[in-house]
């Protein structure tokens, strides 16, 4: 079938894009900023995005003196002769044209744009085949995230590429970030592109959760069963729900870095780093326990011996008592539980850590940081061992760590110190990447933002948030328009490493059909169960 023609190229420059005169009979109202369109050159087909729409007149006097009563008849009579519209189009990819009848999968993949078409090349609406030749067929590690805004065909991301670098999901509250995260995580679990560790601050990833529409939706544990392990900090929630492990954090596991991250939450003074440093020099990993146990005389003695400031030390002691009072904090805890997490990840399990009633920013940041630092250390060791032995069995599985409210860990003040900032910056060196979810991307360190390989963003209204999401992305002005024109819910702009070109997508529904596609409730064979029980 022939694509619908929209107009012809009349002007253009490689750097600035193409100007297309819209055919009479084609209305600007049928097109949207961000639409995926095709420009047919003689030798190449250009996959492009609409960047702007403009109204023009051939005769300026008409504009100075417009018809007073523009009936459809008059408007139509003027259209195409005295008035017309143009479209600004940005070619994003190009494909050398073969025979019209070659099948898609025989074509080479589209290439970066290296040239522009000549005058009067046709602008056409993209058809299903065009979407397919750019975004690929669904299946394997090619995962359908949704559909184009105006068509009902899958738009896929390459999950291998998605987990290869850190990535981000953005959008103001209610745009569907948590739903989309569950969809992407499901795709990764289903295809085994990576193992996941999810810090689930609001307990919304593991079990049933009521949506804003009042429908109960399934959690990942319910879709994937024992492939997903649930850890909880909250012993009460653990007793109520089907939780696998209750996690405790020991004072001995908390490092000065963790405390610095809580500077705002605990209202710490600028002297904290120095004091904690001195404590650490003397007591090593017992520094916090020792500090909290010090009598006033003990503080005096410590300060005399180490040169710490007595008042600062007492203040720090008072403020850090808040940590000890948290129900999940013990005097001493072994790293065994966290090390077991890594062992489970090694076996291909995915882990959700629920915070339950401990869902304050303090709990979230403290625990996520302690756990992630340990896991990252173990991963580093694994990678180093693998580099020595080069045994395929030693190769660690890629790990993706999901954090919501990411700006708390990655804002410019703390991103240099936290383990999360380090992971984002070192890229995939140790096979660990992040999926950061945030409604306020402007709060995240620009250096971290520029490292994100794939970005998915729902609607954002604040200028600085839009700027932040587009940090380090080419052709920001077009994408800015594409971002602004999204609906407030269930529509996203998808761009970066995991897709060949940026595209607006209507998010896939997270519902019974989806659970089915992910294999929920699949009858497990006895062989599978036996393998799970007795395999390795």
Ligand X SMILES: Nc1ncnc2c1ncn2[C@@H]1O[C@H](COP(=O)(O)OP(=O)(O)O)[C@@H](O)[C@H]1O
- The footprint of ligand X (CB under 6 A) covers 171, 173-179, 211-213, 489-490, 507-510
Least distance from Mg ion to the Cβ atom of residue 6, Å:
38
CA distance 312 to 84: 72
465 vs 490, which CB is nearer to ligand X?
Answer: 490
| Alpha helices per DSSP H over 192-229 | 220-224
- Residue 152, contacted partner among ligand X, Mg ion, none, CB below 5-8 A by kind: none
- Residue 213, contacted partner among ligand X, Mg ion, none, CB below 5-8 A by kind: ligand X
CA distance 43 to 96: 6
128 vs 513, which CB is nearer to ligand X?
Answer: 513
Place of tokens 């609406």: 125
> In Å, what is the CA distance from 276 to each residue of 87, 200, 363?
61, 29, 20
**If we measure between CA atoms, which residue out of 417, 464, 421 comes closest to residue 440?**
464
Least distance from ligand X to the Cβ atom of residue 104, Å:
27
- Residue 381, contacted partner among Mg ion, ligand X, none, CB below 5-8 A by kind: none
Token pair in block for residue 423:
């992971």
CA distance 480 to 460: 10
Phi/psi at 417 (5° precision): -95, -35
Element (H, E) at 351: strand 350-354
Cβ–Cβ < 8 Å for 197, 345: yes
334 vs 509, which CB is nearer to ligand X?
Answer: 509
Token pair in block for residue 160:
């291998």
Least distance from Mg ion to the Cβ atom of residue 478, Å:
28
Least distance from Mg ion to the Cβ atom of residue 202, Å:
7
Least distance from ligand X to the Cβ atom of residue 201, Å:
11
Token pair in block for residue 165:
């670098």
Element (H, E) at 37: strand 36-40
209 vs 324, which CB is nearer to Mg ion?
Answer: 209
- Residue 496, contacted partner among Mg ion, ligand X, none, CB below 5-8 A by kind: none
Interface of this chain with Mg ion, residues 173 to 232, rule: CB under 5 A? 178
**If we measure between CA atoms, which residue out of 40, 48, 53 comes closest to residue 84?**
53
The residue number with the shortest CB distance to Mg ion is: 178
Size of the site for Mg ion (CB under 5 A): 1
CA distance 299 to 321: 15
Least distance from Mg ion to the Cβ atom of residue 71, Å:
50
Token pair in block for residue 199:
């810090």
Interface of this chain with Mg ion, residues 139 to 178, rule: CB under 5 A? 178
- Residue 179, contacted partner among ligand X, Mg ion, none, CB below 5-8 A by kind: ligand X
173 vs 336, which CB is nearer to ligand X?
Answer: 173
178 vs 241, which CB is nearer to Mg ion?
Answer: 178
269 vs 489, which CB is nearer to ligand X?
Answer: 489
Least distance from Mg ion to the Cβ atom of residue 404, Å:
6
Task: By CB under 5 A, name the binding residues for Mg ion.
Answer: 178
């Amino acid at each position: 079938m022939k694509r619908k023609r929209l107009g012809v190229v009349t002007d253009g420059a490689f750097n600035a894009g193409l100007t297309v005169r819209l055919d009479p009979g084609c209305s600007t109202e049928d097109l949207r900023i961000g639409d995926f369109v095709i420009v047919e050159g003689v030798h190449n087909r250009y996959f492009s995005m609409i960047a702007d729409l403009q109204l023009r007149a051939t005769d300026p006097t008409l504009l100075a003196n417009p018809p007073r009563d523009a009936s459809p008849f008059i408007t139509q009579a003027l259209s195409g002769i005295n008035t017309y519209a143009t479209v600004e189009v940005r070619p994003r990819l190009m494909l050398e044209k073969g025979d019209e009848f070659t099948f898609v999968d025989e074509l080479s993949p589209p290439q970066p744009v290296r040239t522009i078409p000549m005058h009067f090349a046709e602008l056409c609406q993209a058809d299903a085949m065009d979407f397919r030749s750019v975004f690929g067929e669904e299946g394997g590690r090619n995962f359908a995230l949704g559909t184009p805004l105006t068509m009902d065909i899958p738009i896929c991301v390459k999950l291998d590429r998605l987990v290869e670098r850190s990535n981000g999901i953005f959008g103001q509250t209610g745009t569907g970030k948590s739903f989309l995260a569950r969809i992407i995580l499901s795709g990764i679990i289903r295809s085994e592109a990576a193992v996941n560790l999810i810090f689930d601050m609001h307990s919304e990833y593991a079990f049933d959760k009521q949506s804003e529409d009042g429908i109960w939706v399934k959690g990942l544990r319910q879709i994937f069963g024992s492939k997903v392990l649930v850890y909880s900090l909250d012993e009460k929630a653990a007793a109520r729900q089907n939780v696998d492990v209750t996690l405790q954090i020991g004072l001995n596991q908390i490092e000065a870095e963790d405390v610095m991250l809580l500077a705002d939450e605990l209202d710490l003074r600028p002297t904290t780093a120095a004091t904690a440093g001195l404590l650490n020099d003397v007591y090593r990993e017992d520094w916090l326990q020792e500090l909290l146990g010090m009598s006033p005389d003990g503080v005096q003695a410590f300060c005399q011996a180490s040169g710490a400031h007595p008042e600062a030390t007492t203040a720090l002691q008072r403020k850090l008592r808040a940590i000890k009072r948290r129900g999940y904090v013990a005097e001493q805890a072994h790293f065994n539980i966290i090390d077991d997490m890594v062992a489970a990840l090694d076996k291909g399990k995915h882990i959700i850590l629920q915070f339950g009633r401990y869902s304050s920013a303090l709990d979230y940041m403290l625990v996520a940081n302690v756990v992630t630092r340990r896991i990252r250390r173990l991963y580093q060791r694994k990678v180093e061992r693998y580099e020595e032995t080069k045994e395929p069995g030693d190769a660690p599985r890629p790990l993706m760590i999901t954090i919501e409210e990411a700006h708390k860990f990655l804002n410019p003040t703390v991103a240099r110190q936290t383990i999360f900032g380090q992971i984002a910056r070192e890229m995939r060196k140790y096979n660990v990447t992040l999926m950061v979810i945030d409604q306020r991307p402007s709060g995240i360190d620009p250096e971290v933002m520029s490292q994100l390989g794939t970005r998915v963003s729902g609607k954002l209204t604040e200028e600085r948030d839009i700027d932040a999401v587009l940090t380090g992305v080419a052709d920001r002005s077009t994408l800015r328009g594409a971002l602004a024109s999204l609906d407030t819910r269930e529509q996203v702009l998808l761009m970066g490493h995991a897709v060949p070109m940026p595209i607006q997508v209507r998010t896939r529904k997270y519902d019974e059909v989806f659970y089915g596609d992910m294999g929920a409730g699949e009858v497990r064979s006895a062989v599978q169960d036996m393998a799970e029980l007795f395999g390795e």
